[in-house]
Structure 1
Amino acid sequence: MKKPKYQMIIDFIKEKIAKGEWAIGSPIPSQRNLAKQFQVNRSTVITALEELMAEGLLEGKAGKETVVTNNTWTLMGAKSSTNWNENVTLGIHKPSVSMVQEINEAESNTNLIQLSKGELSPEMFPLEDMKFIVQKVSNQLTSFGYEEPKGNINLRKAISDYLMVRGIEASPSSILVVSGALQALHLISIGLLKRDSTVLLEMPSYLYSLNVFKSVGMELQGLAMDKEGLIIDSIYLTKEKGKNILYTIPTFHNPTGALMQEERREKLIAYCEREQLPVIEDDVYRDLWIDNPPPKPLKARDLYGNVLYVGSVSKTLSPGLRIGWIVGSESVINRLADLKMQSDYGSSTLSQLVAAEWLSSNFYNTHLEKVREQLRVRRKVALDALDIYLSPYATWDIPKGGLFIWVKIKPEFKVKRLIEKAFSNNILLNPGSIYAEKSGQFIRISYGYASLDEIKVGIFKLSEIIKNSL
């Protein structure tokens, strides 16, 4: 005999609670969602929920979400169970902004046109070369355990040689291998900065979409920028020495794509040395130049160990390797290496061996040449589509490298509404608001990930959405 629909809903919810998938304190899906899932009227859902409330498993109040209050074991026991859901808000590390969480989740949806992703398309992944290198590394494997605290020595030597070509002299002992640039920022935030420090940075900036510094009690202070990036005259030190640090992306800035030129780099380094203002230079986009090689890093001009330099192969080769690096004075690197050992006891040995092989062979440079060629084509396709479809409604600058075009939508169109409409049309975009852009008129379009056809279709659909909103 077939169960009534309301009983199927009851059994479904009980199973979720019993397995711990819906923990005590967590909200259950809305009545509307449950009705849609089971293809029933909301009255059927209400009948099921009322029965579960009568059993003491759920609790709901008018106008508020229904939450799990018990499970089978807590109903049997005299004492109440731990409500882990309450603890979720008590942790030290702040959650991502809700919009960022939604974007992160949507970026795994293969049905969407991904104009948001800050990574290279699978079309540019060097699969055959990667297979060859992984095979070569595996043929040389012996048993492998934990690496040195600073990372595999062969990889650090390869990074040292790689940096030398880019103007940075760094011995392997002043390099720490990390699991991507984000871990680098996390280690710096917990290991080198005082609790109420101020992090000075461009506004807008990628860093605003993270809570890595805020979570350890620091405040972010935005600085003005133009087409060359950070404006030095806007730097205002609010705290005493030792409580200010500058975070900057001078090369193909995220999200604006700005490129700081030689003269301003010289002046910025001179200012920071004079004011004893330490610098974190995030340089993960450097190798993605399209027109001409960018000026040397700030770190190449650093004579006093004032700059902590962060690099990675995530943007150029594969985010899946989870390999990045920090370059700094040995005492600082030793401190961060100790913290990393406390955190994860070192990045994956296999990933480090593969990255070492890439960087120390000619494979990496050959791959970069192909990537730049592809990015040149992709940028042109995106810019041509913007010219044809979006020029009546928006303006933008032409990036000289990186993955992003920073698009200013004219004031009469609401970006928040545009983002929502785009999503309902299967297009994922990043609003400028998640990077602390104040006017609310900007979106970030990536030409790095979506296919050429998707880039054209996505931008055309954006224009149609705007046109229809007039």
Structure 2
Amino acid sequence: MITVDWKPNRFSPVPIQKQIEQFIKEKIVNGEWTIGTKLPSQRALAQAFDVNRSTVVAALDELTAAGLLAGNTGGGTRVINTTWSLLASVSPTNWNANVELGIHPPNLPTIQEINHAEFRSGIIRLGTGELSPSLLPASEQMQQLFARQAARPIPLGYQEAKGDSFLREQIVQRLKKEGIATSPDSVLIVSGALQALQLIAIGLLKKGSTVLLENPSYLHSLHVFQSAGMKLQGVPMDPDGLQAELLPAYQKQFKGAILYSIPTFHNPTGNVMPAKRREELLRVCDEQSLPIIEDDVYRDLWLDERPPCPIKAGDKNGNVLYLGSMSKSVSPGLRIGWLVGPQPVIERLADIKMQIDYGASSLSQWAAGEWIASGAYDQRLAVIREQLRVRRACMLNALERNCRDLASWDYPTGGFYVWLRMHEAIPMKTLFDRALSAGILLNPGHLYDRQEFGALRLSYAYASLEELQQGIAALADIIRSLGATGRT
């Protein structure tokens, strides 16, 4: 589905309807909207243009009569471009057919809506899994980092395949404090943890294999493994995390090739897997020869006490691939993450990464290395933790005031998320749509578990304190309007 970021000029002598017609016609003439392109709904266009729906209907009718558009019952309006004045000497390429043939599936429709709505003004983002801009390092802090740098020259060329050696050394030193013994040769710098998953999918796993993971899981909201021809299979969780004792049966039934787990401040539930369960999980996976991807990007965001050591800390057989990142803890814009694993695996994936992008940003790697080495990273983490504690308290208080009779939730000890579980079934798509119309953006539970239609992933990391209070109060009102009577 295409997006529209243009509005008619209300001060122009040209009627608004004609401006809309000309806008759409120019998109077609210039080849931006090709044959087969589906236009947003009339309601969505009216909202985007900030006009009455009748104005949009009239404009579309004119363009349909001119042979540029066609509408089908239930199928929306599409570009057909049949007029002689717009036809070239050869038929225009139907790019939509090519788009549909691509091997990477599109985002889920709700994810696409979320991605578009996140950048609309006036939206309260109650589900966004990233730090608020107010919690990111101030520009002057980064400028000071660049200004006082004298020991190492700023790199502007390509780095070696595994990434900047100084940054990898800094990561190794940090991992030692978490009980992980490794060396720079076993560390690969990636452009965010998501790229590490993509490299694993295309570099280590066979097409048709199965990735086992917690249910629910953040990974269900992506197509990183499915686009490489793999399947996802959820394994049930309990309050201590993934139920390790079930893995042998699941691996036998689904022929699991690898296990993906977020044991620390799980996304979306916020759970923390206790040390004993981590030991059990590693033991079972070793016995089953089931490799593990440990996604630990939230580790540094503990709010009450440090979480247990990573699963990787107990790995003596090289069975765990460990993911870390600065995206959740300091700056998503740096696009710096790391993958730790057996050296042959790291070299294999480093070779693939060089074929894809010839390495992560040299400047970002340099900044990340200096940020860690100077102590600024840990200083910033202390500030972020304190701010997240305040935000967590604000969200939990708002939930207690407004939603105690409507839903239940657990107390998060770190990370970003509260997993809100409704007491009564409500139509979640309707909830999402009504909330968005009211300026509140939600992350429904079915994004993380296809069968979950009674939960929301809430985040206290992005919205302001005022927005958290307003948004949750409004959310509770919408839930009640949908027929949830609550219970006491």
What is the TM-score of this pair, normalised by structure 1? 0.93
- Paired AA for residue 218 in structure 2: Y
Alpha-carbon spacing, 1:341–1:462, altered in 2? closer, same or farther (3 Å): same
25-34 or 260-269, larger mean C-alpha shift? 25-34
Q: Which is worse superposed, 44-53 or 102-111?
A: 44-53
2:395 to 382, 388, 407: 382
Q: 1:32 to 1:107 in 2, by over 3 A?
A: closer
Match for 1:281 among 294, 299, 306?
294
* Structure 2: segments with no counterpart, 5+ residues: 1-11, 484-488
Q: Is the 8 A contact 1:158 1:360 kept in 2?
A: yes
Partners of 2:188 and 2:340 within 8 A in 1: yes
Post-superposition shift, 1:76?
5.0
- Residue type of the alignment partner of 1:108: F
> How far 1:164 moved relative to its partner?
0.9
Measured at CA, do residues 386 and 138 of structure 1 come closer, stay the same or move farther in structure 2, by a change above 3 Å?
Answer: farther
Post-superposition shift, 1:78? Answer: 4.4
Q: Taking structure 1 as reference, are residues 110 and 288 closer, same or farther at Cα in structure 2, changes over 3 Å only?
A: farther
Alignment of 1:420-439 (within 5 A): 420-436=433-449, 438-439=451-452
Distance in 2 (alpha carbons) for counterparts of 1:42 and 1:345 = 46
Give 1:460's aligned amino acid. A
Return the letter of the residue paired with 1:48: E
CA distance in 2, matches of 1:161, 1:280: 21
Tell me the residue number matched to 1:99. 110
Among 141, 147, 150, the residue aligned to 2:159:
147
Residues 1:52 and 2:66 aligned together: yes
**Residue aligned with 1:200, SS:** strand
2:221 is matched with 209
The aligned residue for residue 401 of structure 1 is 414
Q: 1:193 aligns with which of 190, 194, 205?
A: 205
1:14 aligns to 2:25 (yes or no): yes
- Residue of structure 2 in register with 1:261 after alignment: 274
1:410 to 423, 445, 449: 423
Report the counterpart of residue 323 of structure 1 in structure 2. Answer: 336
Query: How many residues matched?
Result: 467
The one-character-per-residue Cα deviations of 1:243-286 (angstroms, maximum 9, x if unpaired) are 52100000000000010001111111111111111000000000
- Offset at residue 52 of structure 1 (A): 1.9
The whole-number CA distance in structure 2 between the counterparts of 1:348 and 1:42 is 44
Q: Which amino acid aligns with 1:67?
A: R
Going from structure 1 to structure 2, the CA distance change for 1:75 and 1:333 (only over 3 Å counts) comes to same
1:127-276 alignment, distance < 5 Å: 127=138, 128-137=140-149, 141=153, 144-235=156-247, 236-238=249-251, 244-276=257-289
| Deviation, structure 1 residue 299 | 0.5
Write the distance in 2 (CA, Å) between the matches of 1:290 and 1:234: 31
| Cα gap change, 1:413 to 1:75, in 2 (>3 Å) | closer
8 Å CA contact retained: 2:210, 2:255: no
Q: What's the CA shift for 1:47?
A: 4.8
1:24 Cα deviation (Å)? 2.3
Counterpart for residue 8 of structure 2:
none
> Secondary structure at 2:368's aligned position in 1?
helix
State the alpha-carbon separation in 2 of the partners of residues 456 and 5 from structure 1: 38
Q: Taking structure 1 as reference, are residues 224 and 337 closer, same or farther at Cα in structure 2, changes over 3 Å only?
A: same
Aligned CA-pair RMSD = 2.4
Give the aligned residue type for 1:275.
Q
Deviation at 1:400, TM superposition (A): 1.0
SS in 2 for 1:224: strand
Aligned-partner SS, 1:341: helix
Contact map agreement 2:213 2:233 (CA 8 A) in 1 = yes
**Could you tell which deviates more after superposition, 107-116 or 427-436?**
107-116
Q: Which amino acid aligns with 1:421?
A: R
Q: Within 1, Cα distance between the matches of 2:260 and 2:115?
A: 23
Give the match for residue 120 of structure 1. 131
2:154/2:363 contact within 8 Å kept: no
Contact 1:250 1:283 in 2 (8 A): yes
The answer as to 2:133 corresponding to 1:111 is no
Q: Distance in 1 between matches of 2:421 and 2:57?
A: 46
Amino acid at match of 1:462: L
TM-score for the superposition, normalised by structure 2: 0.90
The structure-2 alpha-carbon separation of the partners of 1:83 and 1:325, relative to structure 1 and needing over 3 Å to count, comes to same
Give the C-alpha shift of residue 87 in structure 1: 0.6
The one-letter code matched in structure 1 to 2:128 is K
Code of the residue aligned with 2:282 in structure 1: it is I
Moved more, 2-11 or 171-180: 2-11
Range moving further from structure 2, 227-236 or 86-95: 227-236
Q: What are the Cα deviations for residues 4-53 of structure 1, in whole angstroms up to 9, with x where unaligned?
A: 76654443332111222212221234456667746555673355124421
DSSP 3-state at the match of 1:406: strand
